[in-house]
Structure 1
Amino acid sequence: MNVLLFSNGKVAGNTSLLEFGIDWVAEAIERTGAKKLLFIPFAMIRGEYDDRLAQLNSVVAPFGASVTGIHQAQDPVEAIKAADGFIVSGGNTWVLNKMLHDQGLIGPLRNAILKQDKLYIGWSAGTNIACPTIRTTNDMPIVSAAILPSLNLVPFQINPHYIEANISGHMGETRDERIEEFLIQNPHEIVVGIPEGTMLKVEGGKLTYHTATGAPLKLFQYQQEAKYFNAQDDIQAFME
């Protein structure tokens, strides 16, 4: 398996998508030989699919790769079969997951990624759908008939855009409190909070953490004190 799961697409000061992690993207494309990438834009609500597609082509062109959009394909399943890898944009996770299920694309994507080792690059919503379910997304369920199970590429839940903050005067739950509520209802699961400018990578069966900012990830488990892990730390136990 070759999977890059970014918390977000840009950090402050970036002018292009995945700029903070471009070396990680370049290494993955070179290592896997994924030159024909398929963009899955269904999470996007505010913005045009084709504009994002053009941006991504500019990002990967220096590495000899190109990107086409699944929204332009006459047969999305055949487009998945023909691609060397996939890029899944951020946006609304509920919309993305529903469209993948509605179009019958979950199975073909899982087959391509898990059995054929095709490259998967996702950020934000694209990272959420790599989990067993999308229950730890930050997004509002803006579509009805919401579907929870997703690609299940990793066996744990991820909370992208994780922020450890308690805003003065704000009486709603903090991110930590929301994750705690999830674990009370799902005590046998774990949640990995990844802050901005970071990425989880799965190469083969090995899981590693990468950060452009130096920020650690945060592991949440039921009735246990949260633990921090830095880029050099061993996090392989998350995959068990």
Structure 2
Amino acid sequence: MPGDVLLLSNSRPPGGAEPFAHAREVLARHLGDRTAWFLPYAQADHDAYFSWVRDALGVDLRPLHREPDPAATAAAADAVFVGGGNTFRLLHDVRRLGVLEALRANDACRYTGSSAGTNLACPTVRTTNDMPIVDPGGLDALARVPFQVNPHYLDPDPASTHQGETREERIREFHEVDDVQVVGLREGAWLHRSGEHLTLDGNSARLFRQGEEPLELTPGTDVSWLISS
């Protein structure tokens, strides 16, 4: 059976709390006593980002970018944590280094993603919010889950004077060309797959399906049907 998956919308909880303060319990439960290799490739300063996350989490976290052969290490890893930043830079670097293919082959590896790292767990990165600052050489990702996620989901604000598309409108545009379900994860929310069970927690989310009105999902909801449908 493929390794369990934890997908966080964000690392910085609202209200000025410490990084990952909202999700430390589920992170500790998900990772257990496993050594987790951290992938900092969504950010420009790999060392600084790794140190920031390691200090915030206080778990056995190792820097994949310092390994002489990151792909070989990823291929044998029991757990990985893929951090946030720019999704296109992340996908570009893990593809260039061979880490993307290594993780595809090592599906028993326990996967944790935050923001851009959550995007990488989807079939593609086509529901990210990021600018394509680099050409990643394709948009296909890891497909650790069979649906798409939109991290940092923002609800339409009727009082806003912004004239661009809302997040909901952009997801509807996605569904003009693709029928894959999309989970809009609000800040503080996460999806945790343990075995054949998938749960939403931390905060609510919205589920978007082609040709249907969005469905509101509340914290604590069992959404295992998303991985079996």
Q: What is the TM-score of this pair, normalised by structure 1?
A: 0.88
Aligned positions, number: 225
Taking the aligned partners of 2:136 and 2:49, their CA distance within structure 1 comes to 27
Tell me the distance in 2 between the aligned counterparts of 1:110 and 1:205: 19
What SS is found at the alignment partner of 2:22?
Answer: helix
Q: Which digits, 9 at most, give the CA deviation of each residue in 1:21-57, with x for residues without a partner?
A: 0010111122xx31x2111011114xx2212222232
Match of 1:43 in 2: 42
- Cα drift, residue 177 of structure 1: 0.5
Aligned partners of 2:71 and 2:102 also within 8 Å: yes
Partner of 2:155 in structure 1? 164
Correspondence for 2:205: 217
Q: What 5-or-longer segments of structure 1 have no aligned partner? A: none
Counterpart residue type for residue 130 of structure 2: D
Q: CA deviation at 1:234?
A: 2.9
The list of structure 1 runs, each at least 4 consecutive aligned residues, that deviate by more than 2 angstroms after superposition, is 12-17, 55-61, 81-84, 165-168, 231-234
Q: Tell me the secondary structure at the aligned position of residue 91 of structure 2.
A: helix
Cα distance in structure 1, aligned partners of 2:99 and 2:76: 14
SS in 2 for 1:153: coil
- What amino acid does structure 1 have at the position aligned with 2:49? R
**Aligned residue among 130, 142, 164 for 1:139:** 130
CA drift at 1:75: 0.7
Identity across the alignment (%): 36
Q: Could you tell me how far 1:146 is from its partner in structure 2?
A: 4.3
What SS does the corresponding residue of 2:90 show, helix, strand or coil? helix
Which of 155, 166, 185 lines up with 1:194 in the alignment?
A: 185
Give the counterpart letter for 2:84 in structure 1.
Answer: G
| Mapped partners of 1:145, 1:85: distance in 2 | 24
Task: Report the equivalent of 2:52.
Answer: 55
Q: Is the 8 A contact 2:149 2:182 kept in 1?
A: yes
In structure 2, what is the equivalent of residue 28 of structure 1? 30
**Secondary structure of the structure 1 residue equivalent to 2:176:** helix
3-state SS, counterpart of residue 171 of structure 2 = helix
**1:13 aligns to what?**
15
Q: What is the CA deviation profile of residues 102-152 of structure 1, one whole-angstrom value per residue up to 9, with x for unaligned ones?
A: 22222211232x2x3x22111100000100000000001111354210000
Q: Separation in 2 of the partners of 1:162 and 1:51?
A: 27
Give the CA deviation at 1:155: 0.3
Shift of 1:4: 0.7
Change in 2 beyond 3 A, CA 1:12/1:232: closer
Residue 110, structure 1, aligned to residue 104, structure 2: yes
1:234 maps to which of 206, 211, 222: 222
Q: 2:14–2:187: 8 Å Cα contact kept in structure 1?
A: no
Cα distance in 1, alignment partners of residues 188 and 5 from structure 2: 16
Deviation readout 1:140-184 (Å, 9 max, x if unpaired): 111135421000000001000001023522111111100001001
Amino acid paired to 1:154: V
Q: Give, as a single letter, the amino acid of the residue that structure 2 aligns with 1:169.
A: T
> Take 2:22 and 2:164, find their aligned partners in 1: how far apart are those partners?
31
Aligned partner of 1:26: which letter?
A
- The one of 79, 83, 86 equivalent to 2:80 is 86
TM-score, reference length from structure 2? 0.92
Question: Are 1:183 and 2:180 matched, yes or no?
Answer: no
